[in-house]
Amino acid sequence: MAEAALRREQSGASAGGAAHATVRTVIDRVRADGRTSLTAPEGKVVCDAYGIPVPQEGVANSAAEAVKLASAMGLPVVMKIVSPDILHKTEAGGVLVGLKSAEEVSKGYDTVLANAKNYKADAKIDGVQVQQMLKGGTEVIVGAITDGSFGKLVAFGLGGVLVEVLKDVTFRLAPATRDDAMSMLDGIQAAEMLKGVRGGDPANREALADIIVKVSQLVSDFPEISELDLNPVFATKSDATAADVRIVLDFEQKPRPVTRSNDEIVAAMNRIMRPKAVAVIGASAEAGKIGNSVMKNLINGGYKGEIYPIHPKADEILGYKAYKSVKDVEGVIDTAVFEIPAKFVAGALIVCGEKQIPGAVLIPSGFAEAGAPELQDEIVEIGKKYNVRLMGPNIYGFYYTPENLCATFCTAYDVKGSAALSSQSGGIGMAIIGFSRSAKMGVSAIVGLGNKSDIDEDDLLAFFEQDENTKVIAQHCEDLKDGRAFAEAAKRVSKKKPVIVLKAGRTSAGARAAASHTGALAGNDKIYEDVLKQSGVVRARSLRQLLEFARGVPILPTPKGENIVIITGAGGSGVLLSDSVVDNGLSLMSFPKDLDEAFKTFIPPFGASGNPVDITGGEPPKTYQNTVRLGLEDDRIHALILGYWHTIVTPPMVFAKLMVEVYEEMKAKGKDKPVVASLAGDVEVEEAADYLYQHGIPAYAYSTELPVEVLGAKYKWARGAGLL
């Protein structure tokens, strides 16, 4: 709510009380009439109230009245039947365009009426609308839809059938700010059309943005408006006017679920993720059992808090005193890890509730994912009633390394670091663990979300936002239960820490698989694409990217500008790295003369001038050192991409150590810039890449793409967070 108010403030689109009352009156009348859409005159009233420009018009009840109206507003005009019973006016022959004389208008009135009667004999006719005919300018569409997960969205695209074929439309969460609206004008493939092509006039961007903001405000103010179309809007050099308005209402819309306050979420998540005491419900002394693995991971992982095994009979498990029930434990318990059959979960959860345990980590499967939604509904109700937050069910558990906490049945993981990862799927969770171990990626947390019966991505965002051990948040998800809440949390959190999301089920085939897997509704990927970007989220395109971004992004310092320089020993790598620069939305710096000359003093006379700086292949370590030092030293340069070529003169580890030396030397002098490296050479480059990575320079062997993708992710985040 605060967010919405803020946006309204920013957008300057606040519709005063009178405007609100006017629209409310129209909507109430539509509801009273049992209709679900507005007539054109009603649409005009709504547009007028919100300051959305529409053509001059009036409703005539006789041919003479039509001629009078037309003369007043100026010819040519458009005439349209006004009837609550005729929604598709064109189909009904109820629209005439380009009427150029009084005579044509007079005849037109009779024609429209006759056609309407012919189309539907018993249609109630309210008259014939006479409308100023717009012409010229660029035809665009502004609209709004209601999405199951994200709620109200405003849409923008060019008009015309070709655009429909190309699906060249862009979306933003409503209400949209003026900046959002401006970004929509640049967010379509055919954006150039708005700038005036072949000598044509550009469209008035301010006027278009204004309409977008107002439409987004209107649908936000009136949740009943499920769909809205201004199609076409004619945008000229001086203004923009909506030639046709279509508004559809849905009075049955479900209100958004009540959300917890951020403070409440954070308080509970802090106790669950950093517990002072953990109970293991279903702890087992028997090796091979999941309840045994969980105990061992807690103990061997080095967790320093209390561990309470809960077991109906045992007195002791793995050296820890066992209890029959959490109620028998004297002290406070923060987290209860469940590993008991699904059918016993509800009962045990009630006991946890009575014990006032704030969080249950539900490893068991056998709920919604296995055809038992009723079991899941039951535990969700219990969780709500007793205020126990539920993680899962159907998960591997979670890791929180700063507390040495492995609340999971998977293998322990102990490389501490600053990346917090989560996955909706257990398989992807295992891939996260394997990759992390293999790549020596330091993590703060790995969390399984599984069926997301309660705790979901936005709860994790709230926790990691204030978790000082986390610098980057990387999430795999298939659906977002409440996309609106996620987007709002991500927008806030991504201002402070990079949020990276791999949205699975992007494609329709993927979405089908997602649906069969979790019962989640397939999202329209274009909506996800636009809203995630609007929320400052960096979107990973593949599992490997999610993992590489989680690994590399927190290591890189935030760049201070867009000037990127490639320094390469292999000209061929320089070309491929340049391709990657463009592919990742980055740009190579154009050298001022002095900088070009400065680089040239270090490289052989036949080395190519400009950026990439091609130091040529046979050069000694000194050449890499001099050029990279210059690149770090000069404040006009903001990031470096290194292309190393393995030669006898400069072997891989010599290169790697020297680069780290220069990097650290310059960092000590306050010249802290993102540096990434691509290493071309024999297998020794793998060791060199590891060394560089461990010392703050994300580096990859045999790839000219990955290092630039990681740098690109850092830039995307920095731009989204307003730091560039």
Q: Does 160 bind its own copies (CB under 8 A)?
A: yes
d(CA 483, CA 529): 12
The terminus-to-terminus CA distance of the chain in angstroms comes to 28
- Give the per-residue SS3 of 308-377: EEECCCCCEECCEECECCHHHCCCCCCEEEECCCHHHHHHHHHHHHHCCCCEEEECCCCCHHHCCHHHHH
Please report how close the Cβ of residue 487 comes to its own copies at its closest, in angstroms. 21
Nearest CB to its own copies, comparing residues 561 and 607: 607
- Residue 614 touching its own copies (CB under 8 A): yes
Provide the 3-class DSSP secondary structure of residue 151.
Answer: strand
Binding string to its own copies for residues 346 to 375, with x set by CB under 8 A, is what?
-------------------x---xxx----
CB of 470 to its own copies, least distance (A): 21
Binding-site size for its own copies (CB under 8 A) equals 101
Is 585 a binding residue for its own copies by CB under 8 A? The answer is: no
Q: Considering only 93-101, 126-134, 430-438, 463-471, which stretch makes contact with its own copies by CB under 8 A?
A: 430-438
* Structure token pair of residue 168: 């060249």
* Cβ 111 vs Cβ 97: under 8 Å: no
184 vs 477 by CB, closer to its own copies: 477
Q: Which of 335, 573, 623, 627 binds its own copies (CB under 8 A)?
A: 573
Annotate 221-237 with DSSP letters as a single string.
H-TTEEEEEEEEEEE-S
Q: Which residue in 253, 356, 466, 508 binds its own copies (CB under 8 A)?
A: 508
Residue written as tokens 């936000």?
220
Site string for its own copies, 442-481 (x = CB under 8 A): ----------------------------------x-x---
| Stretch near its own copies under the rule CB under 8 A, chosen from 325-333, 379-387, 604-612, 660-668 | 604-612
The C-alpha atoms of residue 429 and residue 449 are separated, in whole angstroms, by 9
Q: Which of 220, 578, 625, 626 binds its own copies (CB under 8 A)?
A: 578
- Judged by CB under 8 A, which of 291, 309, 359, 681 binds its own copies? 681
Give least dist CB 466 to its own copies, A.
28
Cα 274 to chain centroid, rounded: 27
Kindly identify the residues of this chain, within the stretch 634-663, that bind its own copies according to CB under 8 A: 643, 645-646, 648
Site for its own copies in 184-203 (CB under 8 A): 189-190, 192-193, 197-198, 200
Contact with its own copies (CB under 8 A) among 30, 67, 158, 218 = 158
Query: Candidates 64-72, 76-84, 322-330, 583-591 — which segment interacts with its own copies by CB under 8 A?
Result: 583-591
> Which segment (211-219, 451-459, 488-496, 684-692) binds its own copies by CB under 8 A?
684-692
The string over 300-328, giving b where at least 16 C-beta atoms fall within 10 Å of a residue's C-beta and e elsewhere, is ebebebbbbbbbeebeebbebebbebbee
Q: Give me the least distance between CB of 541 and its own copies, in Å please.
A: 8
Are residues 83 and 62 in contact, defined by beta-carbon separation less than 8 angstroms?
no
Q: Which of 8, 506, 673, 716 binds its own copies (CB under 8 A)?
A: 506
> Closest by alpha carbon to 451, among 416, 478, 417?
478
> Which is closer to its own copies, CB of 75 or CB of 608?
608
Q: Which of 48, 596, 665, 705 binds its own copies (CB under 8 A)?
A: 705
Nearest one of 147, 33, 194 to 530, comparing CA atoms: 147
Smallest gap from residue 610 Cβ to its own copies (A):
6
Closest CA to 24 of 224, 210, 192, 315: 224
Half-sphere exposure of 239 (CA within 13 A, CB side): 10
Q: Which stretch binds its own copies (CB under 8 A): 51-59, 75-83, 119-127, 579-587?
A: 579-587
Nearer residue to its own copies within complex by CB, 1 or 287: 287
Q: Which of 276, 437, 600, 671 binds its own copies (CB under 8 A)?
A: 437
Among 60, 433, 445, 710, binds its own copies (CB under 8 A): 433
CA 710, CA 553: separation in Å to the nearest integer? 6
| Least Å from the CB of residue 355 to its own copies | 30
235 binds its own copies, rule: CB under 8 A: no
What letter would DSSP give residue 683? T
What phi and psi values does residue 541 have, to the nearest 5 degrees? -95, -10
Round to whole Å and give the CA distance between 116 and 677: 70
Q: Find the helix or strand (DSSP H, E) in which 267 lies.
A: helix 262-273
Residues 364-423 that bind its own copies (CB under 8 A): 365, 369-371, 410-411, 423
Q: How many whole angstroms separate alpha carbon 123 and alpha carbon 83?
A: 7
Figure out which of the listed residues 381, 635, 702, 723 binds its own copies, where binding follows CB under 8 A.
702
How near is the Cβ of 234 to its own copies at its closest, in Å?
16
Query: Which residue, 426 or 712, has its beta carbon nearer to its own copies?
Result: 426
Q: Which is nearer to its own copies, 351 or 372 (CB)?
A: 372
Asked if residue 514 binds its own copies (CB under 8 A), the reply is yes
**Interface with its own copies includes 114 (CB under 8 A)?**
no
Task: Provide φ and ψ at 226, rounded to 5°.
Answer: -90, -30
Name the phi and psi angles at 247, rounded to 5: -130, 125
Given the structure tokens 């969770």, which residue do they identify? 429
Nearer to its own copies, 328 or 682 (CB): 682
Measured from the CB atom, is 324 or 440 closer to its own copies?
440
179, with CB counted inside 10 A (0-12, 13-18, 19+), is middle
Query: Of 74-82, 231-239, 245-253, 697-705, which segment contacts its own copies by CB under 8 A?
Result: 697-705
703 is a contact residue toward its own copies (CB under 8 A) = yes
Place of tokens 């709504």: 46
Q: Say whether residue 287 binds its own copies (CB under 8 A).
A: no
* Residue 294 touches its own copies, criterion: CB under 8 A: no
Bridge partners of 677?
Answer: 642, 699
- Interface segment toward its own copies; rule CB under 8 A; list 105-113, 158-166, 278-286, 591-599: 158-166
Contact 639, 674 (CB under 8 A): yes
Q: How far is the CB of 598 from its own copies (least distance, A)?
A: 18
- Would you say 100 or 512 has its CB closer to its own copies? 512
Radius of gyration of the chain, Cα coordinates, nearest whole angstrom: 31
Helices and strands per DSSP (H, E), number in the chain: 24, 29
Reduced to 3 states (helix: H, G, I; strand: E, B; else coil), residue 176 is: coil
